[in-house]
Structure 1
Amino acid sequence: MGAIVNAICIVIGSGIGLIIHKGLSPRFSDIIMKGASLCVLLLGIQGAIKAENGLLLILAIVLGAIIGEALNIELVMEKFSYRLEKILVKNPDQSTFAQGFLSAVMIFCVGAMAIVGSLQSGLLGDHSMLYNKGILDGIISILLAATNGVGVLFSAVAILIYEGGMTLLAGQLGNYLSSSVIAAMSSTGSVLLIALALNMLDITKFKVMNYIPAVFLPILLVPFLAWLGF
């Protein structure tokens, strides 16, 4: 239920953003996008500083990057978004559909609230964090859709699949998802949010999608490091 509400909030926010988009000049689009990027950066920093185990975080990021780069997840997602763009947009060469879709998916999926909220929903039946996240995502989607267009709207489907899948995963793997695992997954996702925000500000060019496996590696790394005595 929490994932559904979250997706609905994104659809509503994107709709409002698309209405604003029609009368928005490039000057205002740029400053709004930079403001949204700073908000994403803040959310990432807030989550990352809560990391309890620096070694675990380093291992998750490094190993996750290797796996993601080998699978080339970012390229796969880019091809998928461009295919959607060709199907849904009349003039894809002049569209920001793919950029909006990819940015929105990363912002809404890798943050601490997406991970912890989905796990709480699956483990405890507590949807409150996803409800709160839905409100925040709705506000951010207004800003993103106002600058990047309709691609943000279609990210709601990806969020529904991602958070719904995480909720089901939590239900199946509840015995293995200790508080330490959840905290590590959350802080790892927050580091990726920082990387995404830096990309949005045109400071870096991280292939953030290729780091996605890092979010899930703590499920294996936490018990492994505990066995080693770390």
Structure 2
Amino acid sequence: MNSSFGRIITLLRKERGYSQKKVAADLSISQALLSHYEKGIRECGLDFVVKVADYYDVSCDYLLGRTPHRSGATISVEDIPEPDAAGKENIMHGTGSLLPVLNKKLIANSLNVLYGCLQKFNCRALTTEISAYLNLAVYRAFRMLYSANAKNPQGLFSVPLRQGDGYATAAQEIALSNAESLLAGEKVENLEPVAKGQAPALSPEKINEEYPLFASSLFNLIQSSENRMGAKKGQN
């Protein structure tokens, strides 16, 4: 049985404020057996997985940790909305609302340039590793915000809270190291490196020419990032 099962059924029970005694009675098993299932000491049969899915109104795939969506829904490229398609969800109100909107646009526009550059490398493995690094950065920031309220259920995540940031940091470093090796022409396990001579020629002028809508955002992001690092203009 998937190791996520015990953790997820425990979280679902606690979310609803149910005792083990109540859930065990509702599912027609002993409290001791339910405790063993939740702790991962014993494995249950598929019939019981289906029974639990019906009881909590979630999918079996969710119980088994195969999808983060309780309905069991999967998502394709076509299903993913454009970044600005969220409508009212994107509108920020109140004091200081301009700053998050500005930063969001700087990041989104800079990503357009970054992925445009990745296309020129024509290396799927490189795109995968860079994407993993960025995904993990979003994961770390979102989980920190989500977990600021201790009452928020952690069932959305598979990695325990206290291990989440450390594991994500380690995974980021691995992704970055893999990307650096691929750029150097070194094969990483089963990942094919960037072909010799494939790295594109880049300069501020060329970026401005190829990405006229997004170049200024990237340059501003670079400047604000280096300011955050304590760098001074003309230091190099």
Provide TM-score, normalisation by structure 2: 0.23
Larger RCO (CA within 8 A; separation ≥ 6): 1
Give the helix-richer structure, 1 or 2. Answer: 1
